Structure 1
Amino acid sequence: MKDVVAGSTGASGLLGQIDELFGDDLVRVEQIFAEELKSWHPFVNDVLGHMTRFRGKRLRPILLLLSAKACGAVTHDHLVLSAVVEMIHTATLVHDDVLDDAEIRRHVATINSRWNNETSVLLGDYLFTHAFHLASGLESTLACRLIGHSTNLVCEGELAQIHERGNQDLTEAQYLEIIEGKTAELCAVCCQLGAHFADAGEATTAAMREYGRCLGIAFQIADDLLDVLGNEGETGKSLGSDLKKQKLTLPLIRLLDQSSPEDATEIRRLLADPTEPNRDKLQKFVAGSDAIEYAFAQANEFAQTARQQLAELPDSVSKRLLEEITEFATQRSW
């Protein structure tokens, strides 16, 4: 690979450099993924085939492989674990689409809209069970324990978010606690596994875990902003689901916190009845506040904190690509 920095190439250039560095490894990860999930039943294979159309850029396997390479070298265990974390992440997406009544993801019909909620729930379960079956084949049981613990935290975060639906008094600290579980934890364990199975020391492994945690928080804040601001035709996913489900995200928390008592009362009324006309009215309040700028600033701060963790690593192409990912963490279109 050419020893280049991704800085001026944009998000597509960054992904191209990652593919250049890990193309063969990512192909093998996909093979492991497919081999583990293949079924004797045609319908199951049909559903799995449809699912592969909206799986995205494989961020979590990429984080695991980059962490491994930056700390030493990629091994077969890393390839297996990359397939494992991709299964778990995909399972959460499939279940999220049910929870959010989402109809599209990456311009493709979700499993629940293409078939039904029962198929989605069972497919998510199928992915979870296969992930742990695959991880259990490694000589070390550490990966299973770490991934199991992280998956528990992901589910706790999702349950907490469901519990807090409609809670218009949700604080920023509570919001961050929720997204640290439901999104950041899996990114954190990917980087931790990459470092550990590359024989990195404890300090480096801890730094890589913190990198993944902060990066995941930045990504989720940006995703929540996308739900408020994004164009569905451009993003390829159902938007506005947070408002419909009365999930209070960072922009709205900031909006309520900074509004006058009179405006706050009206905003709470609109949030409690998220019809399309009321969402349009709410957008006017958002546009007249610093809620969007504040949330972007918070996302960028977490991205910067993630980047600082990489000081533990020696200079390498992989390290610089990890740095570049933090630059694009708040640009969720990639």
Structure 2
Amino acid sequence: MLATGTKATATPAADSRDAEVGLLWKRITGPLEGFLDQVSAHLVGQVRSFDPELTGLAEYTLQGTGKQLRPTLVGLVGQALGGTTEEHVRVAVIIEMIHLATLVHDDVMDEASLRRGRLTVAARWGNETAVLFGDCLFAQALVQAASFPTPEVCRTVAQATQVVCTGEILQTRYRRDFERSRHSYRRILEMKTGELFALACELGAWCSRAPAGVREGLRRFGLAFGTAYQLYDDCLDLLGEEQRAGKSLGTDLAKGKLTLPILLAWERADARDRSRLERWIREWHPQYLPRLRQLLDRYQALPGALAEVHDHLTRAGRELAHLPAPVQKEGLRAAAEFLARQTDNLTTPG
């Protein structure tokens, strides 16, 4: 039952599942520990190249880098293709700076106060500073991309950044518009989140000098994996607990963003419930959340949304299966399994 979903996450069984998923993540990243340490050190070096007045702000931002999913994908791709190099570290740093920039800007647009258990840059330093600092991160990422001897990296990074920003614009444009959002939602997910995961896999393969067919297959894996991750995150925004998630929850609802569970409920609802749902989203207040969860439960919106996460992960697995035998796929498969288990942990036992 959705109505009791957040209570279920606090049970010992849920804690046990979380611990199991955490151990899986450590097994995935363990062989990449040295690589990820280099990425972190290079990130620190990049932000310390900013004006000294920004040092405290920059270091604060880096302290909340989370699981470093995108650098991890770069490393896993490098590992699958023979090992990581200094170039893999550099592209991982570039992609992580772009990702951090989007988070800083997202928190401004969403008026979010928490990110990874701490005050957001906007909440601590104000919106103006946050927007401009996000711009600094974007610019520094492009400076580093331009330092490669070929323009291909800079061009690919710039194109991906444009796609991400376009996806965010479209999502903002379609707020509270159920008809437009229903047709555009999946495309927007691929653009605003899937694209950076795809970029991580594509450039990781480029650094390994993989042939074009392998690069394209890994890019498609990253796109499917990243889209699945955003679907999972959209479910977490509705069903998680803020303390456990480490970020402000319910911001999608407050800003009128229509995510998959909401859209599925709306598609399946009768006229009366559609009207109620539209009114809640138009005039959102946290007191509506229990009733919203009951409505989602009535129309089985959570199982439908979680099934789509698994569908995208299955698609990602198919892309790996099509890669030639010399590619060592175990780490990438484990990353998909990690997300599948996280997704399953959002369900309520029994």
TM-score (norm 1): 0.93
Does 1:78 find its partner at 2:78?
A: no
Please state how far the C-alpha of 1:39 moved relative to its aligned partner: 4.2
Instruction: Give 1:242's aligned amino acid.
Output: D
Describe how 1:161-310 pairs up with structure 2 within 5 A: 161-310=171-320
Does 1:108 find its partner at 2:118?
A: yes
Matched positions, count: 325
Q: Distance in 2 between matches of 1:196 and 1:248?
A: 36
Q: Distance in 2 between matches of 1:271 and 1:193?
A: 39
Please state how far the C-alpha of 1:14 moved relative to its aligned partner: 3.0
Which sections of structure 1, spanning at least 5 residues, go unmatched? 1-8
Shift in alpha-carbon separation, 1:40–1:264, aligned structure 2, 3 A: closer
Question: Which residue among 167, 170, 193 is the counterpart of 1:160?
Answer: 170
Q: Distance in 2 between matches of 1:105 and 1:313?
A: 40
Shift in alpha-carbon separation, 1:308–1:239, aligned structure 2, 3 A: same
Alpha-carbon displacement from aligned partner over 1:187-242 (angstroms, at most 9, x marks no partner): 00110111122121121111100000000110000000001101001111000011
Taking only the aligned residue pairs, the percentage that are identical comes to: 33
Alpha-carbon displacement from aligned partner over 1:125-170 (angstroms, at most 9, x marks no partner): 1111111111111112111111110000000000001100111223
Q: Which residue of 1 aligns with 2:329?
A: 319
Does 1:58 find its partner at 2:68?
A: yes
Instruction: Give 2:280's aligned amino acid.
Output: L
Shift in alpha-carbon separation, 1:141–1:263, aligned structure 2, 3 A: same
Q: Distance in 2 between matches of 1:40 and 1:191?
A: 28
Alpha-carbon displacement from aligned partner over 1:296-330 (angstroms, at most 9, x marks no partner): 000100011101111215377x6212101112224
Counterpart contact for 2:25–2:338, Cα < 8 Å: no
Counterpart contact for 1:70–1:313, Cα < 8 Å: no
Q: Distance in 1 between matches of 2:206 and 2:325?
A: 16
Counterpart contact for 1:191–1:208, Cα < 8 Å: yes
Q: Which residue of 1 aligns with 2:149?
A: 139
Q: Distance in 2 between matches of 1:313 and 1:103?
A: 46
Q: Distance in 1 between matches of 2:56 and 2:146?
A: 26
Instruction: Give 2:297's aligned amino acid.
Output: A
Q: Distance in 1 between matches of 2:245 and 2:89?
A: 29
TM-score (norm 2): 0.88
Q: Which residue of 2 aligns with 1:17?
A: 27
Please state how far the C-alpha of 1:40 moved relative to its aligned partner: 6.4
Secondary structure at the residue paired with 1:329? helix
Secondary structure at the residue paired with 1:169? helix
Of 294-303 and 273-282, deviating more is: 273-282
Shift in alpha-carbon separation, 1:314–1:275, aligned structure 2, 3 A: same
Question: Which residue among 30, 33, 50 is the counterpart of 2:40?
Answer: 30
Moved over 6 A (4+): none
Instruction: Give 1:71's aligned amino acid.
Output: L
Q: Distance in 2 between matches of 1:40 and 1:244?
A: 34
Instruction: Give 2:325's aligned amino acid.
Output: P
